Amino acid sequence: MIAINDVLIRIVLSCVLGGLIGIERESINRPAGFRTHILVCMGATLVMLTGIFMFNSYNSVSNLDPTRLGAQVISGIGFLGAGTIMREGLTVRGLTTAASLWAVACIGLATGSGFYLGSIVATLFVFIILFFFSKFENYVSQKRNEIFLKIITVNKPGQIGKIGTELGRMHISIVNIKLEAIDDAMIAVILVAKIPRNTIIAEVIEKLLRLEGVETTELIK
């Protein structure tokens, strides 16, 4: 049987490790934050402890595998991760948070099984990846010089061509474009554009707003 002190240590440690990762997600206003990560990690730890308890209690009368409950956590955490993934315009957000939830569940299982070294080292690496690697990721995305624009304009022949011509004058190339009807008179033009280095986004938006028929132009982050 697992000692009471050991049970408390594993549950408390899972709260600390899950909370550490959750703090980083909370700081950038992600859908699953501090409390969610703690609950996932602690729940996974409890599932693993339950599996070990059942194995110790009934191994003399049944051939139980304590890892079977843990396997269900790994496969079942997907529904919670899917809830954090959202589509915003042409971008998809929440994939990293979904991955962090899955990683936290695995950390909880490791903690529940008593694999302290693995759970602590994994937590440190997950935190480093989320906190420090995001700066590198932003640097790489800036190197690509791609922006997302949403332009509300009148729906008439040649209007999309005018927008494309104006962007061409600024040496901006359109990578992808999507049209969404607002009503009979207006449409939303959502596009991905590659801009030259040192281009001032505010000037691009200002020139697009000068076009006849363009109502609003905004940068999608």
Look at residue 95 in the predicted model and tell me its pLDDT.
Answer: 76
Stretch 189-206: mean pLDDT, rounded? 86
Angle at 113 between CA 108 and CA 116, to 5 degrees: 75
Residue 57 pLDDT level (bands cut at 50, 70, 90): confident
Look at residue 87 in the predicted model and tell me its pLDDT.
Answer: 60
Residue 214 pLDDT level (bands cut at 50, 70, 90): very high
- 């049944």: which residue's tokens? 62
pLDDT tens digits for range 69-127: 778 887 778 777 777 776 655 456 677 778 888 889 899 988 888 888 888 998 898 88
pLDDT tens digits for range 150-191: 999 999 888 999 999 999 999 888 888 889 889 888 999 998
Look at residue 138 in the predicted model and tell me its pLDDT.
Answer: 59
**Those residues with Cβ within 8 angstroms of residue 98's Cβ, 6 or more apart along the chain or in another chain:** 32, 81, 82, 84, 85
Look at residue 134 in the predicted model and tell me its pLDDT.
Answer: 67
Look at residue 186 in the predicted model and tell me its pLDDT.
Answer: 92
- Give all domains of the chain, ordered by start, each with its CATH number: 4-140 (no CATH), 145-220 (3.30.70.260)
